[in-house]
Structure 1
Amino acid sequence: MTNSTQPEKACFILNPKSGVKSSVDVPALIHEKLDTTRWTPEIVFTERADHAPELARKAAEAGARLVVAVGGDGTVNEVARGVLGTSAALGILPKGSGNGLARHLGIPLVLPQALELLNQPSFGKIDTCNINGHAFFCTAGIGFDGLISSVFAKSAKRGLSSYIQLIIREFTSFSAKPATVRVNGKELTSDFFVVAFGNASQYGNNAYIAPMANIQDGLLDICLIRHVGVAEAIQLGYGLLTKQIANSSLAEFHTCSTIEVESPEAQHFHADGEYMGEATSFNIQLSPASLEVVAPF
């Protein structure tokens, strides 16, 4: 907050289709719980895919100090993209099925508590990343998790149980593809099940792909998983949910700020869980301390 006695503008961007179903009237809750001596709220709704970045950018350019994503990881990604490079800060009211960035930052998953955090805001800057020009703030990945994001995008069902069912179904027919990973002057060539990039520690739902990741250290955590069978996949799943994947012999970790991946075959990839398509060449870059957010720093 500034020293001004006037409330500052806060724009809330709601995705009415985001995440799990809820009976909560979010606009009413915002009007009830938000401290209007601190913030003057504006509430807008997304009407289509990729509408949120436009709304966020417009709000920031109109002088909003705070632009709040109300939704899941996809909505957070879109709003954050719109806020990048502006003087506005990102706020999050988590209302999705995974809430990866909110969980990593320690933002309460209960909406009234998340609003209280906005009433007494603590501002800090986090690193941001991109994969082939697509911004991500939490995680990105090539291989099996990229495939899952493509299948999940077509699914009408949301939530953790639906996600797990898709993983089990797709695992039986998935084959690891060859790729060369260039990181810290090394070339690592293998058949990779997953090449995952963690700016934050988890995918969402407390599934930790990079449990050591620090979103403010200027480094990206790379997790390499080579071809695995059923027994290994079960071990990896347990590791994800217990933060123990870093201790598994099945996963190899590196840290860097830039990484390149080349594959002779097109591979699926995602950014913050959103399917981005297929490619044979990938460039992943990190920009340190490039996004201001409200979180309990």
Structure 2
Amino acid sequence: MWMIRATVKRSSKGGRELKLLLLANSSASSVTARARVVIRKALSADHEVIVAETARRGHATRLAHSAAVEGCDAVVVLGGDGTLNEAANGLAGTDTALAPLPGGSTNVFARTIGLPNDPIEATGVLIEALARRSIRRVGLGSVNGRYFLFHVGVGFDAAVVAQVERRGDLKRWASHPLFIYAAFDTWIRHYDRSRPRLAVHHTDGTVVDDSYLTIVLNTSPYTYVGPRPFDLAPEATLDRGLVSVSIRTLSFLRFLRLVASSLGSGNALRRSRWVDYRADLGELAVRGHGPVPYQVDGDYLGEIDELDFKHQPASMKLVLP
């Protein structure tokens, strides 16, 4: 019902053609009918391509997993970070690779691995990577059994994401101004800054019980502000353990200084007395002092009391430029 098959007899670059699922989220910011057609034709020049569109939340997980069961070599995801996260959850533990294309408003993960932010330009880079068979297994994070590609936010940043999603119709056209507005609006009206909200439990027995917000990262940067990376944890990579960054103040001036340092090298966070910074983590747990908001790879998932994190090494195949 959502699938169109376009079969090619041979690869023009030599070698075995690959079987690909092109998975598109037509509601994502940069996904247009023209882009889908151009990208499908470009991929079909050398490979067998099946096209599918997501129809609802969670659909990409089922479609990606079905592609793995049916023997696809890779799932090319044209969508935002939320669609990528869903597809990754369908592909983790299989022999089918994830191949990101930027189709959302920020495209954190696609840009993190070195793809251009334009979907057509990124397709050319991806085709070259497929020709070289530049595919390897990478580590993912998991939270309460759900995989994540780049980060999970608990507390204030998740509350900001919640406000952005309530204005989803504006996100497509003004994502960065909307995030800035939502951050100030959340700070003033939608988040209790009068007391710490979280306790972070580490495997060495340390408990950080005065966190206002905690970010657990699998890769760096945390996000992008226009072309500029917002880098909380330079040590977070696909080949190492998780990094946790717990902010222990929401004083406006202190918080502003921490944000400014992250738009530079990000190293100032580790030296701040208001930040608990831990790298190369295999596990950690976050406990809310009551229900706290959380988001996974930029998707708001509601409020929760307990979050258990694990690093899952070499758990998914990824096409890398």
Q: TM-score, normalised on structure 2? A: 0.84
Quick check: 1:141–1:270 contact (8 Å CA) kept in 2? yes
The answer for the alignment partner of 1:286 in structure 2 is 311
Query: Cα distance 1:35–1:117, how it changes in 2: closer, same or farther (>3 A)?
Result: farther
The answer for the alignment partner of 2:211 in structure 1 is 192
Q: Secondary structure at the match of 1:242?
A: coil
The answer for the alignment partner of 2:115 in structure 1 is 107
Amino acid of the structure 2 residue aligned with 1:190: D
- Equivalent positions of 1:145-224 (< 5 A) are 145-156=157-168, 157-158=170-171, 159-173=175-189, 174=191, 175=193, 176-205=195-224, 206-217=229-240, 219-224=241-246
2-structure distance, mates of 1:27, 1:264: 46
2-structure distance, mates of 1:9, 1:120: 16
The answer for the alignment partner of 2:5 in structure 1 is none
CA-to-aligned-CA distance 1:164-219 (integer Å, 9 cap, x gap)? 110011112431434321114132233312111010112322222222211112x0
Gaps of 5+ in 1: none
Q: Which runs of 4+ in 1 moved over 6 A?
A: none
Q: Secondary structure at the match of 2:223?
A: coil
CA-to-aligned-CA distance 1:33-62 (integer Å, 9 cap, x gap)? 22633x211111111111111111111111
The answer for the alignment partner of 1:17 in structure 2 is 27
The answer for the alignment partner of 2:3 in structure 1 is none
The answer for the alignment partner of 1:61 in structure 2 is 69
The answer for the alignment partner of 1:259 in structure 2 is 284
CA-to-aligned-CA distance 1:49-106 (integer Å, 9 cap, x gap)? 1111111111111111010111111011011111112110000111111211112111
1-structure distance, mates of 2:270, 2:198: 24
Count of residues paired in the alignment? 292
Q: Which moved more, 1:222-231 or 1:206-215?
A: 206-215
Amino acid of the structure 1 residue aligned with 2:35: V
Quick check: 1:98–1:203 contact (8 Å CA) kept in 2? no
* C-alpha RMSD of the superposition: 2.1
Deviation at 1:126, TM superposition (A): 1.4
The answer for the alignment partner of 2:39 in structure 1 is 30
Query: Cα distance 1:238–1:225, how it changes in 2: closer, same or farther (>3 A)?
Result: same
The answer for the alignment partner of 1:86 in structure 2 is 94
Amino acid of the structure 2 residue aligned with 1:225: I
Gaps of 5+ in 2: 1-10
1-structure distance, mates of 2:312, 2:97: 16
Quick check: 2:249–2:255 contact (8 Å CA) kept in 1? no
1-structure distance, mates of 2:233, 2:96: 28
Amino acid of the structure 2 residue aligned with 1:210: A
Q: TM-score, normalised on structure 1? A: 0.91
Indicate which of 136, 140, 148 corresponds to 1:136.
148
Q: Which moved more, 1:44-53 or 1:99-108?
A: 99-108
1-structure distance, mates of 2:278, 2:22: 37
